[in-house]
Structure 1
Amino acid sequence: MDSPVPAETAGAVAPAGRSRGWRRAVRPVVTLVLLAALVTAGIVNHDRVAGWVSELVGVRWQWVLASAVVQIASFQCVALLHRLLLRAGGGHGDLRALTGTTYAANGISLGLPVAGAAASAAYTYRRWHDLGNSTALVGWVLAMSGISSTVTLAAVIALGLAVTGSTAGALGAFAASAAGALPVLAVVLAIRHDATREVVGRVLGRGAKLLGRWVPALRRKDVAAKIVDLLASLGSYRLSTRGGVGAALFSLGNWVLDAGSLALAVVAVGAPVPWQGLLLAWAAGALATSVRLTPGGIGVVEATLASALVAAGMPASQAVPAVVVYRLVSLWLPAAIGALCLVISPRPVPAAEHQPH
């Protein structure tokens, strides 16, 4: 005969069970919506997609495969970066689960042109939290990952300008690009100071109190205290010199391998690689991707990247097919893998559940 469950235990288990049941019910719906968004993007742009297919005639597919492999390695650098940062903060991160989350979050970002970035971050937060990581640690990892990626992208752009012989332009581009990471970095550093943290906590607490008029969950009296505690937790994380170097290398590897994928796409169409202008052309495409005017930047990125390659010395008859190959392996392949991960990836198991009792 089973022993009765104490009232307080039952009360604690029931909400958790309902939460897991709610997630199981909602997840298929969200997945179908995202898949429908990706399919809709393909249908709306069917003329453009048909044009891409016609451009693939005569392509050397062994180089396309090589470009795809390099692109997958680029994505793997992101997963490795996340694992490094989670471990630096004392958290947990199985590489397989983090890799699946990286692809799935990318698929969400591509499927939702307006709210894609926010939905992708929310999905990543939930998956990492399910692995047993605290809210503060997840926030810190996302912030540090963004800083590392922004700074290393600035370094790649600066290198591209330096290769063309513009040293002053390289320094200016690095400063301008890296400036995007300064606000986040300033916040991360500021919350390590007790007085600053208290001020920020009070301001956010007052904001939460105002929002509490419309959001019942924010009407609790201890919201401000919880915000201060969260900021204190964020300020407690440190990245060692070794960890910082590792994070920089993984971020740099992500960008460099992505650019290498473009170079192999150029080889796949039988064109000579315009090495001197390749990084700048790639950077133009990367920056166009961040605009998010269309799902995955479809149309915008292709036009920008093809124009940049032509400006680098490639004839349009080769630049356009090269861009089609590159987008095939950098947009559609990861999107397909991400959709698959959304469908089949199991709920992450926290590290504590692996330990023997």
Structure 2
Amino acid sequence: MTTERLKVTGAKTLKRTPLIIAFFLVFNYLVVPQLGGARQAADKLSAVNPILLLVGLGLELTALVAYAQLTRVTLPPTPRLSMSTVLRIQLSTKAVTNLVPGGSAAGGTLGYRLLTQSGVNGAAAGFSMATVGLGSAVVLNLLLWIALLVSIPLDGFNPVYGTAAIAGMVLLAVFAGLVVLLMKGRDPAIRVVRAVADKVPFLDPDTAERFMLTLVARLQDLIEDPTLIRRGILWASVNWLLDAAALWVFIRAFGPTLNPVDVIVAFCVANILAVIPITPGGLGFVEATLIATLVGFSLDSSTAAIAVVTYRLAQFWMPIPLGAISYATLRVGPRSIHKMRSRHPIRDLTGDTIDVAGVRVWDVEDERSTPTG
């Protein structure tokens, strides 16, 4: 290994070390205490409704299928990937996302790699990943606003929820403004992106610029296909609503019944905070926010703790072994997408996870990543 490569490796290690430390701090001070609260509420397990637990689990599995369908509708008709293939790719992606701090980018990169190995053109795979990620974020914020408009007359205005909704919409508005400027070929937008990225820890201005340029190229294609926009909004909404419904069912399994609108508010606020790239999949942030918000909606703390922990077992932890199994099926067997089949797929998943942790989808060269001016 050359001196230059050692320097690059050392720099990457130094950049990731604070994230790893932050992950363990959050896990220690946010997740562990909640697990303790769940143990104190263990007496509620004797009264749990097992049928509703199975229903909640089924809703989570269905939500994963809906997310795979969201990805599938954004892919080109040729080659036409089966639902089974797309679902296995998404499960593999989610497993990495839930294992790596700031894992959305690493998971997206693995998803891109698996899509291209399935025969999808690189530009089309990048378009799909960008469309799914941005579309899901927009739909989530819209769901929060709709739920707030319904819940305010019922529960009154809560400054915390209003602040989260306003912050989410402001970020989306700023992001949309930059995209509009870039689509018009405005250099000032690029300078703004680089200036903001320069102030954000662990974010490289060059990487931020490539991301924005790549995303703009994808959006230009998306605007030309309104049917795809409608289908994307539909399946993103189905995915989020099924996930929120699973949370409501897990709460109901332990006895209490909450207004579904209140549960959607708590769900949306928690998932908006989950985008903070410190812990994998918002681990710790989601649990703390959900428990606090549900308690604010009159659910007792012990029930909130055990219901949220049960929900996260299905929503966060279950996809990890499912993703490992899915990745193994992509590596072996007659329906493998790899030309070179592997005898050690799980070890390969570990290797791929380490590999993509330092790479982003928008780092892949694409001649269409420069907007027209």
Structure 1-normalised TM-score?
0.66
Q: For residues 49-198 of structure 1, what are the structure 2 equivalents within 5 Å? A: 52=38, 55=41, 57-58=45-46, 59-87=48-76, 92-114=80-102, 116-165=103-152, 176-181=167-172, 196=185
Q: For residues 1-357 of structure 1, what are the structure 2 equivalents within 5 Å? A: 52=38, 55=41, 57-58=45-46, 59-87=48-76, 92-114=80-102, 116-165=103-152, 176-181=167-172, 196=185, 235-236=220-221, 239-346=224-331, 347-348=336-337
Q: Which amino acid aligns with 1:265?
A: F
- Per mean C-alpha deviation after superposition, the further-off stretch among 230-239 and 261-270 is 230-239
Looking at structure 1, the residues matched to 93 and 143 of structure 2 have their Cα atoms a distance apart, in angstroms, of 24
Q: What secondary structure is seen at the aligned counterpart in 2 of 1:281? A: helix
Looking at structure 1, the residues matched to 170 and 251 of structure 2 have their Cα atoms a distance apart, in angstroms, of 32
> Which string of whole-angstrom CA distances, capped at 9 and with x for unpartnered residues, describes residues 281-309 of structure 1?
11232123222433443333222211110
- Per mean C-alpha deviation after superposition, the further-off stretch among 302-311 and 181-190 is 181-190
Deviation at 1:117, TM superposition (A): 2.1
> Which string of whole-angstrom CA distances, capped at 9 and with x for unpartnered residues, describes residues 51-82 of structure 1?
64674522222111100111111111111111
> Which string of whole-angstrom CA distances, capped at 9 and with x for unpartnered residues, describes residues 204-263 of structure 1?
xxxxxxxxxxxxxxxxxxxxxxxx999878845655332211110100111111110100
> Which string of whole-angstrom CA distances, capped at 9 and with x for unpartnered residues, describes residues 147-186 of structure 1?
2111110111112211222699899866642454557666
Q: Taking structure 1 as reference, are residues 236 and 309 closer, same or farther at Cα in structure 2, changes over 3 Å only?
A: closer
Q: What secondary structure is seen at the aligned counterpart in 2 of 1:309? A: helix
Q: Taking structure 1 as reference, are residues 299 and 94 closer, same or farther at Cα in structure 2, changes over 3 Å only?
A: same
Looking at structure 2, the residues matched to 238 and 70 of structure 1 have their Cα atoms a distance apart, in angstroms, of 32
Q: Taking structure 1 as reference, are residues 52 and 293 closer, same or farther at Cα in structure 2, changes over 3 Å only?
A: farther
Q: Taking structure 1 as reference, are residues 143 and 229 closer, same or farther at Cα in structure 2, changes over 3 Å only?
A: closer
Q: Which amino acid aligns with 1:341?
A: S
Looking at structure 1, the residues matched to 214 and 272 of structure 2 have their Cα atoms a distance apart, in angstroms, of 36
- Per mean C-alpha deviation after superposition, the further-off stretch among 291-300 and 332-341 is 291-300
Deviation at 1:321, TM superposition (A): 1.5
Looking at structure 2, the residues matched to 230 and 103 of structure 1 have their Cα atoms a distance apart, in angstroms, of 23
Deviation at 1:110, TM superposition (A): 1.0
Looking at structure 1, the residues matched to 312 and 56 of structure 2 have their Cα atoms a distance apart, in angstroms, of 10
Q: What secondary structure is seen at the aligned counterpart in 2 of 1:345? A: helix
Assess if the C-alpha contact under 8 Å between 2:66 and 2:236 holds in 1.
yes
Over the aligned positions, Cα root-mean-square deviation in angstroms equals 3.8
Q: What secondary structure is seen at the aligned counterpart in 2 of 1:87? A: coil
Assess if the C-alpha contact under 8 Å between 2:291 and 2:305 holds in 1.
yes
Looking at structure 2, the residues matched to 50 and 165 of structure 1 have their Cα atoms a distance apart, in angstroms, of 33
Looking at structure 2, the residues matched to 288 and 134 of structure 1 have their Cα atoms a distance apart, in angstroms, of 33
Tell which structure's C-alpha radius of gyration is larger.
Answer: 1
Looking at structure 2, the residues matched to 178 and 253 of structure 1 have their Cα atoms a distance apart, in angstroms, of 21
Q: What secondary structure is seen at the aligned counterpart in 1 of 2:119? A: coil
Deviation at 1:103, TM superposition (A): 0.9
Q: Taking structure 1 as reference, are residues 269 and 107 closer, same or farther at Cα in structure 2, changes over 3 Å only?
A: same
Q: What secondary structure is seen at the aligned counterpart in 2 of 1:111? A: coil
Looking at structure 1, the residues matched to 163 and 299 of structure 2 have their Cα atoms a distance apart, in angstroms, of 27
Aligned residues: 281
Q: What secondary structure is seen at the aligned counterpart in 2 of 1:164? A: helix
Structure 2-normalised TM-score?
0.63
Q: Taking structure 1 as reference, are residues 229 and 51 closer, same or farther at Cα in structure 2, changes over 3 Å only?
A: closer
Which residue does 1:353 correspond to in 2?
none
Q: What secondary structure is seen at the aligned counterpart in 1 of 2:266? A: helix
Assess if the C-alpha contact under 8 Å between 1:136 and 1:230 holds in 2.
no
Q: What secondary structure is seen at the aligned counterpart in 1 of 2:269? A: helix
